[in-house]
A and B are shown apart, each in its own frame.
Chain A
Amino acid sequence: MKPKRILMAKTGLDGHWRGPTIVARALRDAGFEVIMIGMATTAEIVAAAVDEDVDLVGLNIGGHIDVALRAVDAVQSAAPEMPIFAGGTIPPHACKQLEAKGLEVFPPGSMLADIVDSANRLTGLSEAP
């Protein structure tokens, strides 16, 4: 089975690496190829998602939801079928906005097992429950 590829990016300039690093490690251990790009602008995220032809984009969101929404819109318009999931310090109102765009969202306190499940599902490795 060909490994699935996930792009991991941070939308903000806030450099917390605790969460994203642990998630990346868990995804790798679950057999994914995880492409790290660190803090990236919308344009950089889209270019990376396209060039890398990933099966899933993971956004770590630390700041204002509008910055993240812009990245989501840009990825969805460049690659409409590419699923996205998001994690980070995302208050409830922002979670709802992201979910409305079809994202799965993992706020603080989410379990790694759930994040890995979601990656499996979103990349078609497992069926939706």
Chain B
Amino acid sequence: MSDSAGAGGVDDFTARRTLAKSISAIESGGPEALAIEQTALEQPGSAHVLGITGPPGAGKSSLISALLPHALAHYGSVAVLAVDPSSSVTGGALLGDRVRMDYRHFDQKVFFRSMASRGHQGGIAAATRASVNVLDAAGWSLVIIETLGIGQVELDVMALADRVAVVLNPGWGDSFQANKAGLTEQGDAFVLNKADRPGLEQATILLEQSLQCLPTADPPSVFPTVATDGEGVPELWQALARLLQDAPRAQRSRRRSAAVWEGARNQLLQDFDAFLASPDPPTKADSPSENAADLLQRFYQRQD
């Protein structure tokens, strides 16, 4: 507990609080969020970003907990962003990923943030990208994103992470059949967690078969693990560390571009809303499509 300098110093509550509050501001959205992210993007950053995805209850959080000591040994500091679903009715959420963490590793440089999806689709929260950028700027060298447990294959995390590990379990054959086309294309590594359960062999064969069908010379590997007692975790970590090391360095600029685009899009929407609210009677034609075209034309004229 001695090291309080720089990112993640355990005793350095001030720095941590500032960071945590930045993320809260990002979660609140709006111009302030964008400003925070843009300031962050002006800093140099070199974080590696690892996505962990997979169906609900596959063991994503348990696996992150098991990977933490390895990741800490390698990177020195690790931040985790764990996303869970918000209720579409009440907006509330139970964020339970922390329960799976083994806090014995938390006296090192670990930053852990639970995030509700707040209606955002695609397995992450709207604030996840900007949070990654802020953590990167603050010097956290590895950022792990746990997506919410999704059954669907719309993985926004692909656009954020340098590498994505897909966590599955033995005995999930059916859902796999439904998803395999999408899922297999999205992972850089595949984990068959709960390898202590029956069906491991069959699941491995099925999974490897479909990975062989991918149009790449070097299909991703499959790693059996038991997250809860650490079996297979060192092997998985070795592979992930190598994958992260060798990852193309394009993601950071993609995250930067995404931030720029979002800024531009927000501005555009704001301007358009203002235009709609203006007293100018917006409509005269009868057909909705003509109507829309007409609206846009006048909007762009106004902007010039």
Residues of A within 8 A of B (CB): 2-3, 5, 24-25, 27-38, 40-41, 43-44, 46-48, 50-53, 78-79
B72 at the interface (CB under 8 A from A): no
Cβ of A36 and Cβ of B106 under 8 Å apart? Answer: no
- Specify which chain B residues have a CB less than 8 angstroms from the CB of A28 in the assembled complex: 87, 90, 92-94
- Specify which chain B residues have a CB less than 8 angstroms from the CB of A33 in the assembled complex: 86, 92-93, 95, 114, 116
- Specify which chain B residues have a CB less than 8 angstroms from the CB of A44 in the assembled complex: 103, 106
A78 to B103, CA, bound (A): 19
B10 at the interface (CB under 8 A from A): yes
Cβ of A35 and Cβ of B17 under 8 Å apart? Answer: no
Whether A36 touches B20, Cβ cut-off 8 Å, given contacts A30-B90, A51-B111, is no
CB distance from B108 to the nearest CB of A (A): 11
Cβ of B92 and Cβ of A31 under 8 Å apart? Answer: yes
CB distance from B142 to the nearest CB of A (A): 16
- Specify which chain A residues have a CB less than 8 angstroms from the CB of B92 in the assembled complex: 3, 27-34
Which residue from A29, A37, A41, A43 sits with its C-beta under 8 Å from B90?
A29
CB-nearest residue of chain B to A4: B92
Cβ of A36 and Cβ of B27 under 8 Å apart? Answer: no
- In chain B, positions 93-132 with a C-beta closer than 8 Å to chain A are 93-96, 98-99, 103, 106-107, 111-114, 116, 118
CB distance from A1 to the nearest CB of B (A): 8
Residues of B within 8 A of A (CB): 10, 13, 16-17, 20-21, 23-24, 27-29, 86-87, 90-96, 98-99, 103, 106-107, 111-114, 116, 118
- Specify which chain A residues have a CB less than 8 angstroms from the CB of B28 in the assembled complex: 2
Cβ of B17 and Cβ of A36 under 8 Å apart? Answer: no
Total inter-chain residue pairs, C-beta < 8 Å: 81
Selected A-B contacts with CB under 8 Å, 13 pairs: A3-B93, A27-B92, A28-B94, A32-B92, A34-B94, A40-B103, A44-B103, A44-B106, A46-B13, A50-B13, A50-B16, A53-B17, A53-B24
Which residue from B21, B87, B94, B116 sits with its C-beta under 8 Å from A36?
B94
A91 to B71, CA, bound (A): 44
Cβ of A34 and Cβ of B93 under 8 Å apart? Answer: yes
- Specify which chain A residues have a CB less than 8 angstroms from the CB of B93 in the assembled complex: 3, 28, 33-34
Which residue from A3, A41, A47, A50 sits with its C-beta under 8 Å from B91?
A3
A2 to B29, CA, bound (A): 9
CB-nearest residue of chain A to B89: A29
Which among B10, B86, B93, B98 has the greatest number of chain A C-beta atoms within 10 A?
B98
A47 to B21, CA, bound (A): 14
- Specify which chain A residues have a CB less than 8 angstroms from the CB of B111 in the assembled complex: 51
Which among A29, A41, A52 has the greatest number of chain B C-beta atoms within 10 A?
A52
- Specify which chain A residues have a CB less than 8 angstroms from the CB of B10 in the assembled complex: 47
Which residue from B21, B24, B99 sits with its C-beta under 8 Å from A38?
B99
17 new A-B contacts, CB < 8 A, other than A33-B116, A34-B92, A51-B20, are A3-B86, A5-B24, A28-B94, A34-B95, A35-B95, A36-B96, A36-B99, A38-B98, A40-B103, A41-B103, A44-B103, A48-B112, A50-B16, A51-B111, A52-B113, A53-B20, A78-B13
